[in-house]
Amino acid sequence: MSHTSISMTAPPETYRRRRAVLASHLNRPIVIFAGQPRARQYPTNMHPFRAGSNYLYFGGPPMAGCALLIEPGSDGENGCTLVRPVVGFDDAVWTGEPPTDDAFAAAAGVCTGALLAPDQVGDRFSGRIAAYIAPPCLPTVEWAKSLGLQPADPDEIQTIIDLRLIKDEHELKAMRFAAKVGVEAHRAAMRATKPGRGEADVAAAFLQVLTAHRCIESFSSIVTVHGEVLHSEGNPNQLEAGRLLLVDAGAEEPGGYASDITRTYPVNGEFTPIQRQLYDTVLRAERAAIAACVPGKRYRDVHDIAARAICEGLVQAGVLKGDPAELTARCAHTLFFTHGVGHLIGLDVHDMEDFGDQAGYASGRKRRPEFGNKFLRLDRDLAPGMTVTIEPGFYVVPVIWRNEEFIAPFADVVNRKTIAAFVKAEFGGIRIEETVHVRASGGPEILSADLPNDADAVAAIVGS
């Protein structure tokens, strides 16, 4: 990183304000680490470095080996120390000159005198107990433990969660850009989809757009004709007419903010009648769930709205039998809609998932036990400034339909003949997903709205 390449999402005063809020809740110092790049096959062959999200949120410039030290009662500048590695002559030859001290400190919103070398950090904690937060990086965690630091406790983590849940104008601007790039990349992927090509060709078309905008994947892109595999890896399959291709992929802009978008479409641009009927079912579920993303709405209820719409559509399609409300109450939808309707999104594509259900679930709330429903990652009351995904789906998962004990409770409501035909034809899966901002008024803002999700509009782009 040269001295001209410090990329920050917000101005220094924003980071000072965030640190001051955190400091006002602290009873002991806390160190927030950036982490280190992970080695591939040998120590000097590294994966690209991506700084820890908490470090970025509180104003750490994106450089490996750094850390922020925040003292209780700090005003966001005084009482804050920025630890940065010393880059020697040999290192600079290989990786370029580092930012100057003045530039580094200015980006973070601290004075130059607040910079500290890593070997000086231990002196700050002589006789004191301090906490730490680090990305899942073994060298960094070992460094923290060698300093005698303790993992942050639930109260300290909760303060960070409360801050990061609500996105400010700078974060939303970054997320809108990530969504814009994601939309353009999805359009490129659709245009690259044709019978005879491979999943890899589509994945490459998506990635090309990201690279042109200095973005990276917000997660490993899912590009697959086996959409029933929720987290499919690799792109080994050829594209055949009549199959559905599911593309779940997003962009991460240079400051670390993510988008997450999914589209499913026929490889040859033409839905079969049953594919179209089930696609429209998922689309109705998505639209109903998005409309419910308003302040005060419990996110679990948003999931249930989508589940009810799925059941209604499956009854109409002859896949399920019975009253949709009763089917939803019995969790019949979980045979086909096998995951939660969405998750938090922001600096992480699954925002703050490193904090587990403390981030996703409000105090006193726990996951439901039923298959499908138990995978819901979020159960909070929505508030202005929260950003979430909405991504209902319909999947024909062969392993489910081979498990007679699992499906026995639904024997009276499922059309096994229809499902057997789906399994034989390798139907796959359908998922439609948007990145959504909960607004105080005017309804939700769909950050990915520029990418069509109407079946006809989507099909018209495929292979064009």
> What are the DSSP calls for 433-459, one per residue?
BEEEE--SSSS-EETTTTS--SHHHHH
Task: Clarify whether residues 181 and 285 are in a common domain.
Answer: yes
Identify the helix (H) or strand (E) that includes residue 358: helix 357-360
CB neighbours of residue 380 within 10 Å: 19
Q: Which of 133, 164, 195 is the last residue of a domain?
A: 164
Task: Clarify whether residues 278 and 422 are in a common domain.
Answer: yes
Task: Clarify whether residues 261 and 152 are in a common domain.
Answer: no
Task: Clarify whether residues 248 and 156 are in a common domain.
Answer: no
Secondary structure (3-state) at 377: coil
Task: Clarify whether residues 450 and 372 are in a common domain.
Answer: yes
Amino acid letter, 422: F
Q: Is the pLDDT of residue 307 over 80?
A: yes
CB neighbours of residue 37 within 10 Å: 15
Q: Which two tokens stand for residue 70?
A: 């925040």
Task: Clarify whether residues 39 and 178 are in a common domain.
Answer: no
Q: Which domain holds residue 17?
A: 12-164
Average pLDDT rounded to a whole number, residues 66-87: 95
Task: Clarify whether residues 79 and 188 are in a common domain.
Answer: no
The torsion angles phi and psi of 66, rounded to 5 degrees, stand at: -95, 170
Query: Which pLDDT score, from 0 to 100, does residue 122 have?
Result: 86
Task: Clarify whether residues 184 and 72 are in a common domain.
Answer: no
Q: Is the pLDDT of residue 187 over 90?
A: yes
3 in a structural domain: no
401 in a structural domain: yes
**Domain containing 173 — which CATH number?**
3.90.230.10
- Residue (of 339, 354, 456) closest to 389 by Cα position: 339
Q: Is the pLDDT of residue 166 over 90?
A: yes
Query: Which pLDDT score, from 0 to 100, does residue 335 have?
Result: 97
Using pLDDT thresholds of 50, 70 and 90, give the confidence band for residue 87. Answer: confident
Query: Which pLDDT score, from 0 to 100, does residue 3 have?
Result: 44
Average pLDDT rounded to a whole number, residues 395-399: 97
Q: Is the pLDDT of residue 1 over 60?
A: no
Rounded Cα distance between 429 and 175, Å, is 27
Contact 315/321 with Cβ under 8 angstroms?
Answer: yes
Number of domains into which the chain is organized: 2
Q: Which two tokens stand for residue 272?
A: 């079969």
382 in a structural domain: yes
Using pLDDT thresholds of 50, 70 and 90, give the confidence band for residue 2. Answer: very low
Q: Which of 146, 164, 182 is the last residue of a domain?
A: 164
2 in a structural domain: no
Query: Which pLDDT score, from 0 to 100, does residue 90 have?
Result: 84
pTM comes to 0.95
Rounded Cα distance between 54 and 57, Å, is 5
Model confidence over 313-344: pLDDT tens digits? 999 999 999 999 999 999 999 999 999 999 99
The torsion angles phi and psi of 32, rounded to 5 degrees, stand at: -115, 115
Query: Which pLDDT score, from 0 to 100, does residue 296 have?
Result: 98
Task: Report the mean per-residue pLDDT for the chain.
Answer: 95
Average pLDDT rounded to a whole number, residues 442-446: 97
Average pLDDT rounded to a whole number, residues 87-110: 89
- Of 111-125, 294-308, 316-330, the range with the lowest mean pLDDT is 111-125
CB neighbours of residue 220 within 10 Å: 13
7 in a structural domain: no
Task: Clarify whether residues 361 and 331 are in a common domain.
Answer: yes
Using pLDDT thresholds of 50, 70 and 90, give the confidence band for residue 105. Answer: very high
Model confidence over 136-165: pLDDT tens digits? 999 999 999 999 999 999 999 999 999 999
Task: Clarify whether residues 268 and 388 are in a common domain.
Answer: yes
Task: Clarify whether residues 160 and 174 are in a common domain.
Answer: no
**Domain containing 58 — which CATH number?**
3.40.350.10
More confident residue, 204 or 1: 204
Task: Clarify whether residues 316 and 241 are in a common domain.
Answer: yes
37 in a structural domain: yes
Contact 430/393 with Cβ under 8 angstroms?
Answer: yes
Rounded Cα distance between 40 and 38, Å, is 7
Dihedral, 246, 430, 408, 307 alpha carbons, nearest 10: 130
Query: Which pLDDT score, from 0 to 100, does residue 376 have?
Result: 97
Q: Which of 138, 164, 190 is the last residue of a domain?
A: 164
CB neighbours of residue 376 within 10 Å: 21
Query: Which pLDDT score, from 0 to 100, does residue 244 have?
Result: 98
The torsion angles phi and psi of 445, rounded to 5 degrees, stand at: -95, 120
Using pLDDT thresholds of 50, 70 and 90, give the confidence band for residue 233. Answer: confident
5 in a structural domain: no
Q: Is the pLDDT of residue 387 over 90?
A: yes
176 in a structural domain: yes
